[in-house]
Amino acid sequence: MVKVIMHGCNGHMGRTITGICENDSDIEIVAGVDPFDGVDNNYPVFKTIKDCTVDADVIIDFSNAKAVDDLLEYCVEKKVPVVLCTTGLSDEQLAKAKEASKNVAVLRSANMSLGINTIMELLKKAAQVFAPAGFDMEIVEKHHNQKLDAPSGTALALADSLNDALDEDYEYIYDRSQRRQKRDPHEIGISAVRGGNIVGEHEVIFAGLDEVITIEHTAYSKGVFGKGAVEAAKFLAGKAAGSYDMADVIAAK
Ligand SMILES: NC(=O)c1ccc[n+]([C@@H]2O[C@H](COP(=O)([O-])OP(=O)(O)OC[C@H]3O[C@@H](n4cnc5c(N)ncnc54)[C@H](O)[C@@H]3O)[C@@H](O)[C@H]2O)c1
């Protein structure tokens, strides 16, 4: 049984993970940390990580960038591995996470979904087959109308997976409206759709002569990130110091 401290336990993702762990006999939340106390939890909740007196095998973090410095210090001091999911970390904080990983296991990913991370692995193979054979590669992503950034960080990460697998550099094209020229074979078009309450859809299209292959991922709820984080926590418990990501979790499956 893996014992977890849920950092940010009363937020959207913290509550989602609490629900997932209640139905998983291999993992248990033994404590939570959150300054907001409006939620009834069946584990003790501390206001800050420094107040936490409960021992655990691993910490799952979905909180706030401002909370991450203290968290990393705690993890290094107590030698507790951490699944770091909070986004919007500064360059200094990313450097701090890297430094912490010399002393404790740190797993960080901007997208914790097992589906997206597995697709990233599949795309490397697909790109190596299809790009040299002249297939055009395009990505279409769709999100709700409240999302501020476009394209999504996940769409860019998918494009990077394609690019990293290829010998030549492919240029990312976000807008063709001002261009009056044919598509260059060495480009990856990335299009963003915004509307309604779409949680997140990503399509990677390989368009060749008389055939089209589409690899598609649909998230129906933020639960996909919670499920990935729980799998990552099980993987990370007991691991030696080092920097890990979701590719390590998938490779161990
Ligand atoms: N990596 C991924 O796949 C992924 C997926 C979803 C969300 N996120 C990120 O996770 C973070 C949380 O997302 P959310 O939707 O649950 O947000 P949320 O605002 O619903 O929850 C955040 C919680 O953190 C708590 N918090 C604030 N300061 C804290 C502190 N010092 N210590 C402990 N807890 C503290 C807040 O009170 C709140 O309950 C965001 O940065 C979000 O972008 C990452």
Pocket of ligand 1 (CB under 6 A): 7-8, 10-14, 33-36, 48, 62-64, 67, 85-88, 109-112, 222, 225
Beta partners for residue 11, in sequence order: none
The ligand 1 atom at the shortest distance from the C-alpha of residue 88 is: 41
Where do the H-state alpha helices sit in 170-212? none
- Among candidate residues 143, 202, 217, 227, the one labeled active-site is 143
CA distance 55 to 31: 9
pLDDT band for 10, please (50, 70, 90 cuts): very high
Any catalytic annotation for residue 147? yes
Tens digits of residue pLDDT in 193-212:
999 999 999 999 999 999 99
Nearest to 7 by CA among 42, 40, 35, 39: 35
Domain with CATH 3.30.360.10 in the chain: 114-219
Counting ligand 1 atoms within 8 A of each CB, the residue from 85, 112, 113 with the most, and so the one to mutate, is: 85
Place 164 in a pLDDT band, splitting at 50, 70 and 90.
very high
Q: Given this model, what pLDDT does residue 41 score?
A: 97
Residue with tokens 């300054």: 35
User: Residue 217 — very low, low, confident or very high, per pLDDT cuts 50/70/90?
Assistant: very high
CA of 110 to the centre of ligand 1 (A): 13
Strand partners, 98: none
Nearest atom within ligand 1 for CA of residue 110: 1
pLDDT (average), residues 14-32: 98
pLDDT tens-place string over residues 43-56: 999 999 999 999 99
Residue 212: beta bridge partners? 207
Active site residue 143: yes
Which residue, by CA, sits nearest to atom 6 of ligand 1? 225
Mutate to test the pocket of ligand 1, among 29, 46, 63 (most ligand atoms within 8 A of CB): 63
Collapsed DSSP state (helix, strand, coil) of residue 196? coil
CB 222: neighbour CB atoms within 10 A?
Answer: 16
pTM (predicted TM-score): 0.91
Tell me: pLDDT of 110 over 90.
no
Q: How is 14-27 classified by DSSP, letter by letter?
A: HHHHHHHHHT-TTE
Measured from the Cα of 7, ligand 1's closest atom is: 33
Atom of ligand 1 nearest to the CA of 63: 24
Question: Which architecture does CATH list for 2-112+222-251?
Answer: 3-Layer(aba) Sandwich (3.40)
Could you tell me the pLDDT band of residue 70, with boundaries at 50, 70 and 90? very high
Residue 64 banded pLDDT, cuts 50, 70, 90: very high
Q: Which CATH architecture has domain 114-219?
A: 2-Layer Sandwich (3.30)
Query: Residue 82 — very low, low, confident or very high, per pLDDT cuts 50/70/90?
Result: very high
C-alpha of residue 65 to centroid of ligand 1, in Å: 8
* In the chain, ranges of CATH 3.40.50.720 domains: 2-112+222-251
C-alpha 251/C-alpha 146 separation (Å) is 34
CA nearest ligand 1 atom 19, residue: 11
